[in-house]
Amino acid sequence: MVERAIAEERAVIVQLDFGREDLAEQLAEVRLLTRSAGAVVCAVVQGRRHSPDAATYAGKGKVEEVAAEVAAHAADLVIFNHELSAGQERNLERTLQCRVIDRTSLILDIFAQRAQSSEGKLQVELAQLEHLATRLVRGWTHLERQKGGIGLRGPGETQLETDRRLLGIRVKLLRERLARLERQRGVQRKARGRGELLNVSLVGYTNAGKSTLFNALTHAGVFAADQLFATLDTTTRKLWLAEAGHIVLSDTVGFIRDLPHSLVAAFHATLEATAEADLLLHVVDSASPARDDQIADVNKVLAEIGAADVPQLTVQNKLDLTGLPPAVERDEYGRIWRVRLSAVSGDGLPLLREALAELALAKTRDLQELRDSRARTAGAAAQDVDRILDSDGSS
């Protein structure tokens, strides 16, 4: 498990360019991730490469530049905004003489700080342990074969094998606990489904304003802040709409570019609610210059969790920063596909309520049409049976 120091850590960020165009957005994001983790960015080292170096990812010359920055700023930590292999991480720590973590470890650490519910903590621990399992390869000198004295010699067990065995036992236990919680969630979702309410999940890039919008609609008091992954635990509330009655609204964890697969797998039970929703409110930070890329990243994760086919309503948030007026936009068929609003100021919230009411009423009509169709089918089948019985009796 990742241990965090009590004092604020000083970090050097390493960002390499492999030909992507959104380098500035990547750098701004890793700065915010670092601050969200509780560290201070004291230097940034950038460079351009055609491909990662097999041994150190950045190459010998760039590693020397990083070492100089570490010494100059007395840094405690080097953060690569990339995914490092276990070997690269060890080689870098040996050369730089300080801790080195990659983007995945950084995000896992933030999740560990943010998790509040027992389920959230279990999910984060599972993701951390599965990530740690890839690092248990001759990482420390104590992981050598245990040597015994007289009467103690034998095949023994390496410390590495012991660590792996204990880690495997803990991972199995966590998966069993999460499986039980997932079954409980399934029962709760079925109960809500029997109520025939419109089930809506808020999704979007982290820090797009989902929790702020959720609070503005439901007054739930969910923690919201200008930081990445401010909240992890799913919160569900009923929302009353004057035109359509109650709907069910859920606030979920935010997504991010290159979200670690271990986190997606660990949070499967939480994210499953998104895949089973009737409608996704895709909240977008309209003030972000990288909003199109963020939309694509969110849709990529939605596809990974099986929610690609769930209908979406785009909510362009933070109009208070863009100066655009609130509005409802429809497609060529007259269906609502985007609402512009500001969750902070409240401008446009009535438009979103009206849009949700329209969609909830549409679901009610669809269910009624389905019932009527089934009733007609059942009635026709009953008439067929009667005709058969009558014909048998007459014969």
**By CB neighbour count within 10 A (0-12 exposed, 13-18 middle, 19+ buried), where does 292 fall?**
exposed
231 is in an annotated binding site: yes
Spatial separation of the C-alpha atoms in residues 390 and 395, rounded to whole Å = 9
DSSP per-residue codes, 363-374:
HHHHHHHHHHHH
320 is in an annotated binding site: yes
Q: Which residues contact 62 (CB under 8 A, 6 or more apart)?
A: 14, 16, 45, 47
211 is in an annotated binding site: yes
209 is in an annotated binding site: yes
Helix (H) or strand (E) holding 133: helix 118-133
317 is in an annotated binding site: yes
How many H helices and E strands in the chain? 12, 11
Spatial separation of the C-alpha atoms in residues 309 and 365, rounded to whole Å = 21
229 is in an annotated binding site: yes
Q: At what angle do helices 103-114 and 23-37 cross, to 10 degrees?
A: 40
**Angstrom distances, CA of residue 192 to CA of 131, 175, 257, 306:** 35, 25, 32, 20
Q: Tokens at residue 253, please?
A: 């964890």
Spatial separation of the C-alpha atoms in residues 249 and 182, rounded to whole Å = 19
**Burial letters for 248-276: b for 16+ Cβ neighbours within 10 Å, e otherwise?**
bbbbbbbbbbebbebbebbbbbbbbbbbb
210 is in an annotated binding site: yes
47 is in an annotated binding site: no
**Angstrom distances, CA of residue 188 to CA of 12, 183, 185:** 46, 9, 5
Spatial separation of the C-alpha atoms in residues 171 and 159, rounded to whole Å = 18
The DSSP secondary-structure symbol of 334 reads S
95 is in an annotated binding site: no
Q: Return the SS3 of 304.
A: helix
230 is in an annotated binding site: yes
204 is in an annotated binding site: yes
232 is in an annotated binding site: yes
178 is in an annotated binding site: no
Contact 31, 103 (CB under 8 A): no
* Binding region for Mg(2+): 211, 231
* Binding region for GTP: 204-211, 229-233, 251-254, 317-320
* Binding region: 204-211, 229-233, 251-254, 317-320
